[in-house]
Amino acid sequence: MITSTSNAKVKELVQLQKSSRRRREQSVFIVEGSRMCGEIPGDLIIERYVSETYMQQHANQDLNSIKTEVLADRVFAHVSDTKTPQGILCVVKMIIYTADEIINVSNPFILILDGLQDPGNLGTIFRTAEAAGVSGIIMSRECVDIYNPKVIRSTMGSIYRMPFKYADDLAGMIGRMKDRGVQIYAAHLDGRCSYDEADYSQKTAFMLGNEGNGLRREIADLADACIQIPMHGEVESLNVAVAGTVLMFEAARQRRRK
Amino acid sequence: MITSTSNAKVKELVQLQKSSRRRREQSVFIVEGSRMCGEIPGDLIIERYVSETYMQQHANQDLNSIKTEVLADRVFAHVSDTKTPQGILCVVKMIIYTADEIINVSNPFILILDGLQDPGNLGTIFRTAEAAGVSGIIMSRECVDIYNPKVIRSTMGSIYRMPFKYADDLAGMIGRMKDRGVQIYAAHLDGRCSYDEADYSQKTAFMLGNEGNGLRREIADLADACIQIPMHGEVESLNVAVAGTVLMFEAARQRRRK
């Protein structure tokens, strides 16, 4: 059992929790909690850490199938990203998707996210996208790291199943989609047409922008059409995950009726 | 200027931030931040508190129209619910709506929330509901307090504009709606019909349940129909604010086409 927070493995776990750069360098990320750890595709788990208390409470379970280290409760709490740790975390191999796995699929239904900053929003969008039948998500480099612990938690497991890619050259990636006949719709408060007047049953991508500033002009300009969601009352804008939900489920509705 | 955290007014502000009971007793709540304070209907503001720094930075503005107390920065931080306080908060009178103001309106479009616990979800639902044209929100007593500082922030101002009511007798309130011809739809994972097969253009109410457990059976049983949102992938459920968004904007879409 590891009892010191100055242990090299413990220090590495702390680094992996905090630093997106370290995660990228090592091509791994950390998943916490019983439920989220239970959903990890088996071949992606590199190692597992449990707290002493967790080990005692789960003495009957087979923890030997995966390489598992026990941490003193205090040490586990030090490593954990949550206030009330469940006592189990895994170091997981990143899944790397090619652009083709997102673009070159049957009747693509793609999300393009430009500069999303809020971890909860990004995670919720992944979860909602899987439910709506989205085939893949393209993100600009300015988006929050998908492997940020808060994002992982709010995906509720969709992170393991939804193909995604960070695009260094977002405009270039959008160009490739257009070459393949994908219709690109930018969600924009000044959009000319109401979102429910367009046809999303064929190859479709939705672009959603940053929480405060929306889509960058040069990215929005690449869209085939700007669409807006009609709003009542004095609401200035919708939360980006909410706006994405409206668009994704309208597309899902149309695609069911096709 | 108030310089001590043991000042009686300061102690009262801390109580109002923390305790929903104290807020109810006093029939007031606290709103923090420039933007949220700027949107408060003027006649609801009882008093305003600013930090010393805020006072200096806004020396040119007329802060005299409303009774304003200055707090030392350290005292303001003590009172604030946020990690990085903006330096302005208001004590605001609660708005009390009658049941009739929610039910007895033209072509009602109502949300019924049963045991929602997450402040961010409740706030987001208020904001989204205003945008979708919802006429009012009924909540069970088990729902998180709408005047919780986190809920207020995530409503983005909709709290001042969306009629709402906590129902001590939720079943009784639902009965009154049914007497008035409101069709009640319960969002349920086992719902028989897909949400987009029903007609929401007439008097409509949607029921949404607790994040973990969904709607209580005895409440769901009061609905005219149970509806579900078809989902792809391995997603077990949608976030409740996301599910509410799908339903509310489908109703809004239908109502625009009526």
Selected residue of B211, B237, B239 to mutate for chain A interface (largest A Cβ count, 10 A): B239
B125: nearest CA partner in chain A: A242
Can you tell me the distance from the alpha carbon of A5 to that of A77, in angstroms, rounded to the nearest whole number?
Answer: 10
Give the start-to-end residue ranges of the domains of chain B.
8-93, 99-257
Nearest-CA distance B199 → chain A (Å): 15
Average pLDDT of the residues in A204-232: 96
**Predicted pLDDT of residue A62:** 67
pLDDT-based confidence at residue B44 (cuts at 50, 70, 90)? very high
pLDDT per residue over B104-120, tens digit each? Answer: 999 999 999 999 999 99
**Predicted pLDDT of residue A159:** 96
* Contact assessment for residue A15 and residue A134, using Cβ atoms and an 8 Å cutoff: no
- Among B127, B232, B245, beta carbon nearest to A235: B127
Contact A161 B238 (CB under 8 A): no
Nearest-CA distance B114 → chain A (Å): 20
A253: nearest CA partner in chain B: B196
Helix (H) or strand (E) holding B225: strand B225-228
pLDDT per residue over A27-56, tens digit each? Answer: 999 999 999 999 999 889 999 999 999 999
Decide the pairing of beta strands A109-114 and A164-167: unpaired
Cα B190 to Cα A171, A250, B142, distances in angstroms: 42, 21, 23
**Predicted pLDDT of residue A131:** 98
Average pLDDT of the residues in A191-218: 95
**Cβ pairs A/B, distance under 8 A:** 97
| Residue B14 CB coordination number (10 Å) | 17
Can you tell me the distance from the alpha carbon of A228 to that of B130, in angstroms, rounded to the nearest whole number?
Answer: 16
pLDDT-based confidence at residue B67 (cuts at 50, 70, 90)? confident
Cα A251 to Cα A132, B196, B217, B256, distances in angstroms: 8, 12, 31, 18
Can you tell me the distance from the alpha carbon of B241 to that of B137, in angstroms, rounded to the nearest whole number?
Answer: 14
**Predicted pLDDT of residue B131:** 98
* Contact assessment for residue A246 and residue A132, using Cβ atoms and an 8 Å cutoff: no
**Predicted pLDDT of residue B237:** 94
**Predicted pLDDT of residue A63:** 64
Percent of chain A whose predicted confidence (pLDDT) is above 90:
91
**Predicted pLDDT of residue A190:** 84
**Predicted pLDDT of residue B60:** 72
pLDDT exceeds cutoff 70 at B98: yes
In A, what residues contact B, Cβ < 8 A?
120, 124, 127-128, 130-133, 156-158, 161-162, 194, 196, 229-236, 238-239, 241-242, 245-246, 249-250, 252-253, 256
Can you tell me the distance from the alpha carbon of A78 to that of A88, in angstroms, rounded to the nearest whole number?
Answer: 13
Mean of the per-residue pLDDT values of chain A: 95
In B, what residues contact A, Cβ < 8 A?
120, 124, 127-128, 130-133, 156-158, 161-162, 194, 196, 229-236, 238-239, 241-242, 245-246, 249-250, 252-253, 256
Q: What are B244's two structure tokens? A: 């509410």
Across B26-142, the runs of DSSP E, i.e. the strands, are 28-32, 45-51, 68-71, 88-93, 109-114, 136-140
Nearest-CA distance B26 → chain A (Å): 28
pLDDT exceeds cutoff 80 at B59: no
Nearest-CA distance A67 → chain B (Å): 27
**Predicted pLDDT of residue A64:** 67
The length of chain A is: 258
Q: What are A12's two structure tokens? A: 């590495």
pLDDT-based confidence at residue A240 (cuts at 50, 70, 90)? very high
Intra-chain end-to-end CA distance of chain A, in Å = 58
CATH entry, B8-93, from 1.20.59.10, 3.30.1330.30, 3.90.1150.10, 3.40.50.720: 3.30.1330.30
3-state secondary structure of A237: coil
* Contact assessment for residue B94 and residue B29, using Cβ atoms and an 8 Å cutoff: yes
Nearest to A162 by CA among A117, A125, A201: A125
> Residue A100, exposed/middle/buried by CB under 10 A (0-12, 13-18, 19+)?
exposed
Contact B239 A158 (CB under 8 A): no
Contact B124 A242 (CB under 8 A): yes
**Predicted pLDDT of residue B62:** 67
* Contact assessment for residue A201 and residue A100, using Cβ atoms and an 8 Å cutoff: no
Can you tell me the distance from the alpha carbon of A35 to that of A55, in angstroms, rounded to the nearest whole number?
Answer: 16
Residues in B touching A161 (Cβ below 8 Å):
233-234
Can you spell out the DSSP letters for A51-90?
A: EHHHHHHTTTS--TTS-EEEE-HHHHHHH-SSSS--SEEE
Contact A133 B232 (CB under 8 A): yes
Contact A132 B256 (CB under 8 A): no
Give pTM, 2 decimals. Answer: 0.94
CATH entry, B99-257, from 1.20.970.10, 3.40.190.10, 3.40.30.10, 3.40.1280.10: 3.40.1280.10
Contact A124 B236 (CB under 8 A): no
pLDDT per residue over A118-161, tens digit each? Answer: 999 999 999 999 999 999 999 999 999 999 999 999 999 999 99
Nearest-CA distance A239 → chain B (Å): 8
3-state secondary structure of A185: strand
pLDDT exceeds cutoff 80 at B211: yes
pLDDT per residue over B175-195, tens digit each? Answer: 999 999 999 999 998 888 999
pLDDT exceeds cutoff 80 at B128: yes
Average pLDDT of the residues in B7-32: 96
Residues in A touching B162 (Cβ below 8 Å):
233
pLDDT-based confidence at residue A192 (cuts at 50, 70, 90)? confident
Residues in B touching A126 (Cβ below 8 Å):
none
Q: Which residue has the tokens 């997102």?
A: A102
**Predicted pLDDT of residue B87:** 96
Can you spell out the DSSP letters for A111-126?
A: EEEES---HHHHHHHH
